Structure 1
Amino acid sequence: MNNTSHFPQLATYNQWMNRKLYDAAAALPADRLHEDRGAFFGSVFGTLNHLVIADLIWFKRIAANLPGFASLRCLDDLPRPASLDQRLCATLPELDGLRTRLDAAIIAFCDEVRPSQLEGPFEYTSTKGVTSRKRLGDVLLHVFNHQTHHRGQATTLFSQMGVDVGVTDLLLLVPNVD
């Protein structure tokens, strides 16, 4: 399996895990969902919101700097976040709708992007104004790693509240071989 084939699998894992987290979040009372629990982005809601923000920022950068991806056109009418903790939605169902839309776009993008594009340069400007030029595949790997990092925080927050989100291992989605 080459690196290119990992991305659709990571996108599917991302969607699967996000669904588990949003289902767990939907079972919480609003006060617990928004309770500051000392995580990087405060609450479960803040953490889920941050993940949407980061994905919006990255995939809007990709769409702007590498135009032509049909899979990312659905993001055109979505806001470009101004900060990493900007509250994008007032309610969990609104955030869940945005998350669902993003996950579908990410899966479609990973199916659409070609190996030569992943090997090619990708230039972007960070939220702090720093311009960088990196391989697109390395940036995409960072995006998935970032999601895993913050989902790990979210599962810890759920665990601290006595909520079991279930098994989170990517291995469950890895097919058996003959």
Structure 2
Amino acid sequence: MDGVAYFQRMARYNSWANGHVLDACAGLEPRILDAKRAAFFPSILKTLNHILVADRLWLGRLVGVPEKIALDTILFDDFTKFRAAREAQDAKVIVFADQLDAQTLSGDLSYQSMLAGAYTLPQEIVLAHIFNHQTHHRGQLHSMLVEAGAAPLSIDLVYYYLEAQG
């Protein structure tokens, strides 16, 4: 599989995994979603918002329309509105991945960090980071969701692959 196809698959997996997390969240009361938890972003809702903020920052940089949003911004405190925004963002990531080509993927991205100076990174590293970052925080969400009473999630990449082949 070439790099373009890999990132196209990862965009779809990412959306699929986020859908499972959102389904688990939908079964919880709003007070449970916002309850204080032992995590870097100290609630399920705050962690969800952080992932969305980071995705908007990175995709904005990649498409040349950078946003300025603090990493701990709460974009949506209403879960229904959050879910619609998350699903829309996942669709944008898929569209971006579907438009990738080898030349773009082999290029560099120069950007201004939210916390530090200017950086230039290979586009493929930026894309890998986007998906890795979400996986990192979905792991935290999984733990918080189970603690809140949700059933454990089967959201590993292999489960997506098996279902997609189905």
In structure 2, relative to structure 1, the CA distance for the partners of 1:24 and 1:85 (3 Å cut) is: same
Which aligned pairs between 1:105-120 and structure 2 lie closer than 5 A? 105-120=92-107
Secondary structure in structure 2 of the residue aligned to 1:174: helix
Task: Indicate the residue corresponding to 1:161 in structure 2.
Answer: 148
For 2:18 and 2:130, the matched residues in 1 are separated by: 14
Of 9-18 and 165-174, more deviation after overlay is shown by 165-174
Residues matched between the structures, number:
164
Query: What are the Cα deviations for residues 36-58 of structure 1, in whole angstroms up to 9, with x where unaligned?
Result: 10211110101111110000000
Q: Give unmatched runs, 5+ long, in structure 2.
A: none
Task: Indicate the residue corresponding to 1:27 in structure 2.
Answer: 27
Query: What are the Cα deviations for residues 118-174 of structure 1, in whole angstroms up to 9, with x where unaligned?
Result: 101110111024111111011110110000000110001011122114311111232
Q: Give unmatched runs, 5+ long, in structure 1.
A: 66-75
Which aligned pairs between 1:83-94 and structure 2 lie closer than 5 A? 83-94=70-81
For 1:165 and 1:64, the matched residues in 2 are separated by: 38
For 2:86 and 2:152, the matched residues in 1 are separated by: 17
Give 1:122's match in structure 2, choosing from 97, 104, 109.
Answer: 109
- Identity percentage over the alignment? 33
Contact 1:21/1:165 (8 A) holds in 2: no
Secondary structure in structure 2 of the residue aligned to 1:133: strand
* TM-score normalised by structure 2 residue count: 0.92
Contact 1:20/1:165 (8 A) holds in 2: no
Contact 2:24/2:150 (8 A) holds in 1: yes
For 2:148 and 2:34, the matched residues in 1 are separated by: 12
In structure 2, relative to structure 1, the CA distance for the partners of 1:46 and 1:81 (3 Å cut) is: farther
1:173 aligns with 2:160: yes
Amino acid corresponding to residue 102 of structure 2 in structure 1 = P
1:151 aligns with 2:143: no
* TM-score normalised by structure 1 residue count: 0.86
Contact 2:16/2:160 (8 A) holds in 1: no
Query: What are the Cα deviations for residues 66-107 of structure 1, in whole angstroms up to 9, with x where unaligned?
Result: xxxxxxxxxx9xxx3521111111301111111011000101
Secondary structure in structure 1 of the residue aligned to 2:124: helix
Amino acid corresponding to residue 32 of structure 1 in structure 2 = I
For 1:32 and 1:174, the matched residues in 2 are separated by: 31
Where in structure 1 do 4 or more consecutive aligned residues deviate above 3 Å?
Answer: none
